[in-house]
Each structure stands twice: as C-alpha cells, then as structure tokens.
Amino acid sequence: MSSQRKLNGYLERKDSLITQYRNLKSEFTPAQQALFYILIKLDELVYEYHVCKSYLETQQLTHKPPLDNLQESQTKLKTIYEKIRQIEDEIYYDELITSAPRLSIIRKEITENAREAGKIIHSYEVMNPKSTCHLLDNRVYELKPRASPKLKQEGKS
C-alpha cells in the first residue's frame, strides 16, 4: 500500500505544479504568451524525456544493461537534451524568465517530479514483474492534469 500512497502523492504534486505553471500565463505580454504556449508544449515532451531518462538511470543502477545498449541510450538522450536547449533558445526562454522568474523554479520542480516518476515506474516493475509492459499508466508520462472528479461525475450524468 505504501507504493500506492507514493504514486498518489506524486500525482497530486504533479497536478499542483501543472496548475502553478499554467497560472503564470498572466505574467506575460500577449506576444510572450504565444512563446509561453510553445514552451508548455515543449515541456510536455521534455517531461516524458525526463521520465524515461530517470527510468533508464534507475534501471542501470540496479540491473547493469549491456554496454552497447547503455551507450546507445546515453547518446540518444544527449542528442535530445541538446535539441531541447536549442528550442529554448529559439523561443527566447531567457526573456520569459525575466518576465516571470518563478517559471524557472517551477520547471525545475517539474523536472524533479518527472525523475520521481521514472523511479516509481522502475520500483513498480520490480515489485510486479509480470505486469512490466503496463508501466503503470499514461498519467505518469504526461505533463497534463488528471481529470477532476467533478468533471468525471458531470460526464456520467
């Protein structure tokens, strides 16, 4: 049951961070809001990247994979990271940080949240080896809030 509490805590924290992140929109000029929207979409992909990277790093620490697979994964992850930085430069990320300094802090917290997700997935697989193909569910990978219970109830009516 401890793992379920850990998962719920992780999901609640993720929802809180997403809300804080999206609430920053009002701190930007209309022109910056378009760039902020692009950054949100980028961060949805970056979140998945950090989940996968954390998962692979955790797996590497506990189950030494073949060296070829490890080097190939590290090369791909490095290439993806470089592309992320390139896109941030192209959307004037530094200018967005100047307008909303909290943006940098929230993005770091979101990155840590994604890393936690990778560790949760790995520990779930270790505890449930027969269901490894499920990798929990998509809520862990996506930088999107869970559907609120109120919305679920309204949809059933």
CA atoms within 13 A on the CB side of 146: 17
The pLDDT value recorded for residue 69 is: 74
- Of 14, 73, 78, 11, the residue nearest 43 (C-alpha): 14
Q: What is the mean pLDDT of residues 32-40?
A: 95
The set of residues, in sequence order, having a beta carbon less than 8 Å from that of 28 and lying 6+ positions away, is 35, 36, 96, 99, 100
What distance in Å separates the CA atoms of residue 129 and residue 122, rounded to the nearest whole number? 10
Residue 3: pLDDT band with limits 50, 70, 90? confident
Domain range annotation of the chain:
1-126
97 pLDDT higher than 50: yes
pTM of the predicted model as reported, rounded to 2 decimal places: 0.79
Contact indicator for 115, 52 with CB cutoff of 8 Å:
no
What distance in Å separates the CA atoms of residue 27 and residue 10, rounded to the nearest whole number? 27
